[in-house]
Structure 1
Amino acid sequence: MFVVTLTYLADLAQIDDALEDHVAWLDQQYADGAFIASGRRVPRVGGVILARNLAREELERRLASDPFRQRGLAEYAVTEFVPSRTAKGFEHLLP
């Protein structure tokens, strides 16, 4: 499983201009089963994505196709982890 932290490199007006394309990209990642959660950071300086069921190289390839990255609007930090415990109802996240 991966935690991807996006940090914006541009002002929010530029982010908002690209948001529709970014959301369409996110929709495709969910449809493919790669992403399990995503959302804005608070304060709004970027976002967070939880991804699973793919190799790191595949995740990096997908992130490279994000319109935010292609337009130089965000940078990405990827952290891989193996969950060993979950709250009740989230057991499906365990390997």
Structure 2
Amino acid sequence: MFMIFMKFSTNKSRAPEFIAGHVDWLKQGFDNGVFDIAGSLQPQLGGGILARAASRAEVEARVAADPFVIEDVVSAEILELTPSRTSADFAFLLPGAAA
């Protein structure tokens, strides 16, 4: 599992130019079953994504394809997390859980 933090760069003002492509990129991530959660970092710092993927390389490639990353609207940090404990609602995120 991966936590992706996308913090606004000095090009934040260009976000409106690329928002449609970014939204399409997010939709593709959800449609492909890679993204589980996406939302805004507060207060207006950027965004965050919880993702499941086969490999870190897959996540890195996907993040590199985001128009916000390509155009330096955000800088992305990818952290890998191996869950060892969850609430019952999120047990599906544990390693070995049925998808």
Report the equivalent of 2:82.
Answer: 82
Q: Which amino acid aligns with 2:44?
A: R
Letter in 2 for 1:68: F
Cα distance, 1:12–1:76 mapped onto 2, change above 3 Å: closer
- 1:53: how far off? 2.9
Q: SS of the residue aligned with 2:79?
A: strand
The question of 1:30 aligning with 2:30 is answered: yes
Q: Percent identity?
A: 36
Q: Does 1:3 align with 2:3?
A: yes
- In structure 1, the partner of 2:58 is 58
Q: Give me the CA root mean square deviation.
A: 1.2
TM-score (norm 2): 0.89
CA distance in 2, matches of 1:11, 1:34: 27
Q: Distance in 1 between matches of 2:87 and 2:12?
A: 35
SS of residue matched to 1:39? strand
1:48-82, CA deviations, whole angstroms, 9 ceiling, x for partnerless residues? Answer: 01011320001000011000011111111111011
- Give the drift of 1:22: 0.4
After superposing the two structures, state which structure 1 stretch, 63-72 or 12-21, moved more. 12-21
The structure 1 segments of at least 4 consecutive aligned residues displaced by more than 3 Å after TM superposition are 10-13
CA shift digits 1:17-49 (9 cap, x unpaired): 321210110000111111100111010111101
Structure 2 spans left out of the alignment, 5+ residues: none
Per-residue deviation, 1:15: 1.5
Identify the range of structure 1 (39-48 vs 12-21) with the bigger mean alpha-carbon deviation.
Answer: 12-21
Distance 1:59 1:86 in 2: 23
Task: Report the AA paired with residue 22 of structure 1.
Answer: H
